[in-house]
Amino acid sequence: MKKIALIEDDERLLKRMFSFLNSQNGLQCIIAASSLGEFFERLDEELKPDLLLLDIELSQDINTIIHLKKIKNLLPQSKVLVITGHNHPEYVLKAMQEGADSFYLKGSGLNKLLEAIETTFSGGAYITPEAAAHMIPFLRKEKLPAMDGLPHTDEPDTAPAEGIAQKAPELSPRERQVARGLIKGQSYLEIAENINISVNTVRHYVKVLYKKFEVANKVQLSNKLKPYM
């Protein structure tokens, strides 16, 4: 029996995933926690999980990526499958660098989650096709070190000159949903109900949008978003 621990701040999703995992042959969810603190309190030294399903954006203003290394040090034998609403390549690569073994995008369906779990247990690394599609162009832009035996290529610097307008920030599907709600003047509660996430998760995405567009309030954000929706 494979033991699984689950950390997810959306209570409805937490309960749904807990029931789903325990309904599968060979799987047992031994911890279902809504925060890192609750997880650490309930962690049993004698009963450690084989796999940790970890929400990467918890509602308590915690970026879980920065805690991945600590978790891997504490549970070196445990696999980590990150679950998130983000499919940005930076999130995927950073999570992998910090110790994540696989990456599951929320909204992909529980059957895909089961596929991700099975792939991870078999020694593979699961990344949803949506996330992989975003990673390919990102990796093409990155300058990778030359490999021995391959010719070097001197490409011209194509970075935009100073003073030229930069491309608008890329938004994930979930960020676009939240952005559309803000432009329509919807409250956080209305946005949460329309796209089936918690109000705290909406607040998280709004903070992400503030940072991406370098604004300080919803009026400024709405004005910046309108040309791109």
The most confident of the ranges 22-31, 118-127, 142-151, 215-224 is: 22-31
Residue 168 is predicted with a pLDDT of 57
In a domain, 20, yes or no: yes
Q: Which of 114, 134, 154 is the last residue of a domain?
A: 134
In a domain, 191, yes or no: yes
The answer for residues whose C-beta is within 8 angstroms of residue 68's C-beta and 6 or more apart is: 54, 80, 95, 98, 99, 100
The most confident of the ranges 46-50, 134-138, 171-175 is: 46-50
Same structural domain for residues 110 and 13? Answer: yes
For residues 43-47, average pLDDT = 82
Same structural domain for residues 124 and 197? Answer: no
Q: How many whole angstroms separate alpha carbon 41 and alpha carbon 51?
A: 17
Quick one: how far is CA 5 from the chain centroid?
17
| Cβ pair 208, 120 in contact under 8 A | no
Mean pLDDT of the chain: 80
The most confident of the ranges 57-61, 165-169, 177-181 is: 177-181
Q: Which of 117, 134, 151 is the last residue of a domain?
A: 134
For residues 141-149, average pLDDT = 51
What six digits make up the tokens of 6?
A: 């689950």
Q: Tokens 């033991």 correspond to what residue?
A: 3
Which residues are paired to 7 by β-bridges?
33, 54
Is the pLDDT confidence value at 154 over 60?
Answer: no
> How many of the other CB atoms lie within 10 Å of CB of 75?
18
In a domain, 59, yes or no: yes
Band of pLDDT at residue 57, cut at 50, 70 and 90: confident
Helix (H, G, I), strand (E, B) or coil at 27: strand
Same structural domain for residues 127 and 217? Answer: no
Is the pLDDT confidence value at 213 over 80?
Answer: yes
Is the pLDDT confidence value at 50 over 90?
Answer: yes
In a domain, 211, yes or no: yes
Residue 150 is predicted with a pLDDT of 46
The CATH number for 58's domain is 3.40.50.2300
Band of pLDDT at residue 59, cut at 50, 70 and 90: low
In a domain, 159, yes or no: no
Same structural domain for residues 23 and 126? Answer: yes
Helix (H, G, I), strand (E, B) or coil at 218: helix
Between 99 and 28, name the one with better pLDDT: 28
In a domain, 111, yes or no: yes
Is the pLDDT confidence value at 157 over 50?
Answer: no
Domain that holds residue 216: 173-228
The CATH number for 180's domain is 1.10.10.10
Residue 28 is predicted with a pLDDT of 95
Same structural domain for residues 72 and 25? Answer: yes
Task: Please give the tally of structural domains in the chain.
Answer: 2
Same structural domain for residues 177 and 75? Answer: no
For residues 54-83, average pLDDT = 80
Helix (H, G, I), strand (E, B) or coil at 168: coil
Lowest mean pLDDT among 5-19, 38-52, 119-133: 119-133
